[in-house]
Structure 1
Amino acid sequence: MTNTTIGKTTFKGIVCGSRHLTHDEFQHDVKRAASMFSKMGVGEGACVGIFMRNDIHFMTANHAANYVGAYAVLINWHLAGEELTYILNDSEARVLVIHADLYRAVKDAIPASVSCLLVETHEGIRKPFGLTVDQCAVPEGQADWQCLLESEHPLQSPPVQGPSSMLFTSGTTGHPKGVRRIPLNADGAASMRDFRTRVYGCGPGARCTVPGPLYHSAPNGYAMQASKISDLLVIVPKFDSETFLALIEEYRLTGAIMVPIMFIRLLKLPAEVRNKFDLSSLEFIIHAAAPCPADVKRRMIEWFGPVINEFYGSTESSAVSACNSEQALAKPGSVGKTVPEADIRILDEEGNSLPAGVIGEIYSRFPLMDFTYNRKPEARAAMERDGYITSGDMGYLDEEGFLFIADRIKDMVISGGVNIYPAEIEAVLHNYPGIKDCVIFGIPDEEFGESLMAVVEAQDNIELDTDHIKSYLREHLAGFKVPRRIEIGRDLPREDSGKIFKRKLRDQYWQQAGRKI
């Protein structure tokens, strides 16, 4: 690894904590890992599982799998043993690259057919997650990734063209489904590089950071490109607001891929903290994955400058719309216009196209990034209409072609026959003084079928009054959109991206009622 005293504002390569690899050093490791995979029988069409936190070794394994023509199966490291077993069996993964501390928790769930390569959990990961040194060491007798890597010679054959990462959907309605991309030829790969450069901002010359989990589709696609063609990629094991600002200044970063909760946490920092960092290097922040309240977007643009961009899409569809800062200010709440590579339709339940301004289900088509579900072609067919697919989001296009998201079908609450979209209410709640975070969902109601419930989390040392919160909501929303029940939550369950795990909160109420809808 390169000496960390190198000038950080000019360093080019891959960074994670105190570890710095030049691009040549990184590619050397990728080819050594590719050689290791090849000797283990991993070739074209095979699968390599990755069960890791954000780390340089994650990227090495990801690129190395693709180098030999295999799919890198990215697995959410929060998953319980049974869920991990299912994904490894469904993908027929031959190899699993896994952090040592995570291996200790799930080793009994790993099928005997899967060869494990254990990665020592580095100090830069250990400290933010509160792990012990013993937890992070590779157990004696287990295959040590780093030792094996250092003993390998780089693979001399050229990389196989086509494969990419395989991600599994969340599985909220049954077992998760693996999204297997149709391999691209050389021209298709070049088109995707150009697309990501334009829409994500991680092209040649960029200095990028990924503070979100690499097992998610957008951060992974961003990091895979940035680690290949951008000047710098800084991998962040765990997002911290002040540390993130310090990294921008320290490495003169030009871009990042983020989610709205990160914006909200940045804006909660005291003014004296926010103002002490030089952020003038920033050129292109891209965000996605969740609705961003219009006021949060406006405040971020005022602070960071007109560098805030957004895209809308899904694991299956890729990015099908994009919105820059100017458009966001002109069309508050919009996720932008359809990108040239895609097409979007708003359809009713019968599959008819709906006029501008009318909410329906969002269907999209992105031919360059086509896919099938691993071993489940019937699942792909079930979500498709005339070649267009849906991820279950509701929304509308306005007269000028700007897309607005109402909510997900599964998150929509039907109370007394009225459709209510929680995302709209959450956007208002985020502006309430003293609220750190919030979530809205439907709970069983004998009279109305289901009614709205809000769980809000207070900022430190702030006392919230639920009656006053209701009064505030009535000033900004129709009465039927004001939750009947508001609770103050603490230590709420969260996904790795920082978002509140809505399903875990919601499910407990429906289990008590003995029904799901």
Structure 2
Amino acid sequence: MAIIDFFDRGWRGNPQGSAYIQDDRHYSFDEVGQQSCRIANALLAEGFPKETKSAIWAGNDVNAWTCTLGLWRANMCWIPVGARNSAEENRYVLDAFDCEVLFFQQAFADTIAQLQPQLPGIKRWICIDGEATGVAGSVSLNRWVENQPADRPQLAVDLDDVIMVSATGGTTGAPKGVMNTHRSVQTFCAHFLLGNAYAANERPVNLAAAPMTHTAGLLSLPCTSLGGTVVVVTKPDPALLLAAIPQYRVTEFFLPPTVIYRLLDIPQLKDKVDFSSLRYFMYGAAPMSVEKLKQAIETFGPVMAGGYGQTEAPGSIAFLRPVEHLDASGNVASDERLSSVGRPSPLIRCEIMNDAGEILPQGESGEICVRGDLVMKGYYKAPDKTAETLCNGWLHTGDIGHIDAEGYLHITDRKKDMIISGGFNVYPSEVEQVLWSHPAVQDCAVIGVPDEHWGEAVKAVVELNAGQEIDAQELIALCKEKLGSVKAPKSVDFVQALPRSPVGKVLKKDLRARYWADTRRSI
């Protein structure tokens, strides 16, 4: 299937039904489908070929997501850019991944106008929600598509055409572009459709509370394929999402553990909100506390659904289904089970390998490796990096783990230094570059440390120049300015000297050991 087919399947079966709801405004499948066709036809009329890189700079918004559907309908490639990213990070991604079409909301027009001279590759600027006079050459979406037909364009689609280039990071701190295709994203959707228990005529209600540029967008596709409804929450406000669950009888949604912890901190939550409609409360993107998971099962019911994936194998390497959170007697499962990420998904092969690329016996620890249609096509314009990660048909995830006697996958550590804080990837070298720019800093190391709220918190360990003094908050503020609040350290420790190897390399493993010594996990 082409990626747009997942929306069109629901459109054909439920044309007058509500595909999306935002701020009590209902958008029918007909309305969204026809607008996405106009967008696709406008792109094709301007001569943009397949796999043209396009981006939408916006928060959670139905009209913004309709633009994503429109560019997919034209068999173009979506570059997700986060509304909460720093302007410089988004500029880098748009430039490095050769963006040619940018859709944006008026709220970001001033920032985009400042960046425009640094983005010479963008040929078309489209404001989703009106006119943006400060952005040279821009046009409003409605004016741009007003004369376009609402008919589906007939295009030949190859399943290996690239339809997403998503930014990730690396050891140098510069984001790589992960190329996912119709094939890999359809496999992601198939995993969710195979795993759910919806009846043939049952229409789910999906709550898009997390960023649609992160996880919630892709998770909306299986829902709309069944003719279901996606309720879009425009602000990261727990009160809004809690109110939406009983109001719209939400059946499924995803949140990272850090947000779940915030919900669990609300007194008498179980008595305040009716959660009876929930079938799947999905969590992932970061490790979740077993104790918090038990509390979540008690609060929300036996509906928790864990998942494990990465950008290179989107979102569905393994699942821990709701029933697997319970034992045969219906009681909460063992800590061993709850600490797993579930069993590998059916449309992939998952094995544990040693450094020589040999498959290890069940129960032994090594690198988690995956093969199958879920796996990315490669990194954009980075064949050397692609060759390092895709070896003999296997994706080397960089995660260390094992598969237990019951077939459950456990992640115990990471080969790479990446930090997952609140469900977002943070690459230490990127933060270190900012810290090194301060004149008082001699050297530094950024690591993830255990945090009850965030799963992992970003910590900077800093060695100052002789005679220098600086307040930790000044360094944190500097990182927030350059990188945004997600990547900024939550705390800074000052040391006389960082631990180093004989050749002078900072030993992050030794640093991390100090903070993880009293925990059962190293991730």
TM-score under structure 2 normalisation? 0.72
2:167–2:177 CA contact under 8 A, matched in 1: yes
1:176 corresponds to: 175
Cα deviation digits, residues 323-342 of structure 1 (max 9, x gap): 12332324120101111111
- Cα deviation for residue 363 of structure 1 reads 1.4
1:157 corresponds to: 153
Cα deviation digits, residues 292-311 of structure 1 (max 9, x gap): 11111111112222111111
- Cα deviation for residue 352 of structure 1 reads 3.5
| 1:60 partnered with 2:78 | no
Counterpart CA distance in 1 for 2:282 and 2:152 is 36
1:201–1:284 CA contact under 8 A, matched in 2: no
- Cα deviation for residue 355 of structure 1 reads 3.9
Cα deviation digits, residues 77-99 of structure 1 (max 9, x gap): 33444433332233322210112
Of 281, 293, 300 in structure 1, the residue corresponding to residue 289 of structure 2 is: 293
| 1:98 partnered with 2:97 | no
2:120 corresponds to: 112
CA RMSD of aligned residues (A): 3.7
1:201–1:255 CA contact under 8 A, matched in 2: no
| 1:30 partnered with 2:36 | yes
Moved more, 77-86 or 105-114: 77-86
Cα deviation digits, residues 259-304 of structure 1 (max 9, x gap): 1112111101111x44222211111222221111111111111222
SS at match of 1:87: helix
1:5 corresponds to: none
Moved more, 153-162 or 253-262: 153-162
2:343–2:408 CA contact under 8 A, matched in 1: yes
| 1:313 partnered with 2:322 | no
The code of the aligned residue for 1:113 comes to G
| 1:276 partnered with 2:272 | yes
- Cα deviation for residue 174 of structure 1 reads 3.3
Of 39, 43, 47 in structure 1, the residue corresponding to residue 45 of structure 2 is: 39
Summarize the Cα distance change of 1:68–1:232 in structure 2 as closer, same or farther, 3 Å threshold.
same
1:476 corresponds to: none
2:206 corresponds to: 208
Summarize the Cα distance change of 1:275–1:339 in structure 2 as closer, same or farther, 3 Å threshold.
same
Counterpart CA distance in 2 for 1:256 and 1:147 is 34
Counterpart CA distance in 2 for 1:66 and 1:353 is 38
Of 243, 248, 255 in structure 2, the residue corresponding to residue 251 of structure 1 is: 248
- Unmatched tracts of structure 2, length 5 or more: 1-15, 326-332, 420-446, 465-471, 499-503, 508-523
1:3-402 to 2 correspondence within 5 Å? Answer: 12-110=18-116, 111-114=119-122, 115-120=124-129, 138-139=132-133, 142-158=138-154, 160-161=156-157, 162=159, 163=161, 164-171=163-170, 173-184=172-183, 193-199=189-195, 205-216=203-214, 218-271=215-268, 273-318=269-314, 319-328=316-325, 329-330=333-334, 331-402=337-408
2:257–2:454 CA contact under 8 A, matched in 1: no
| Equivalent pairs, count | 430
Of 457, 472, 484 in structure 2, the residue corresponding to residue 439 of structure 1 is: 457
Counterpart CA distance in 2 for 1:490 and 1:327 is 41
Summarize the Cα distance change of 1:226–1:118 in structure 2 as closer, same or farther, 3 Å threshold.
same
SS at match of 2:36: helix
Summarize the Cα distance change of 1:515–1:210 in structure 2 as closer, same or farther, 3 Å threshold.
farther
2:434 corresponds to: none
Cα deviation digits, residues 51-103 of structure 1 (max 9, x gap): 21111122111111111111111112334444333322333222101122223
Moved more, 68-77 or 356-365: 356-365
2:18–2:26 CA contact under 8 A, matched in 1: no
Counterpart CA distance in 1 for 2:496 and 2:107 is 33
Cα deviation digits, residues 339-389 of structure 1 (max 9, x gap): 111122222333333444443222112334442211222211111333211
| 1:410 partnered with 2:416 | yes
2:287–2:455 CA contact under 8 A, matched in 1: no
Moved more, 343-352 or 329-338: 343-352
SS at match of 2:272: coil
SS at match of 1:349: coil
- Unmatched tracts of structure 1, length 5 or more: 1-9, 122-136, 414-421, 447-485
1:301–1:325 CA contact under 8 A, matched in 2: no
Counterpart CA distance in 2 for 1:503 and 1:399 is 40
The code of the aligned residue for 2:81 comes to I
1:117–1:145 CA contact under 8 A, matched in 2: yes
The code of the aligned residue for 1:400 comes to E
TM-score under structure 1 normalisation? 0.73
1:100–1:139 CA contact under 8 A, matched in 2: no
Cα deviation digits, residues 190-240 of structure 1 (max 9, x gap): 765432213477996111111111222x32221234344342001122232
Relative contact order (C-alpha < 8 Å, sep 6+): which is higher?
Answer: 2
SS at match of 1:350: coil
The percent of aligned pairs where both chains have the same amino acid is: 23
2:209–2:254 CA contact under 8 A, matched in 1: yes
Summarize the Cα distance change of 1:106–1:507 in structure 2 as closer, same or farther, 3 Å threshold.
farther
SS at match of 1:61: helix
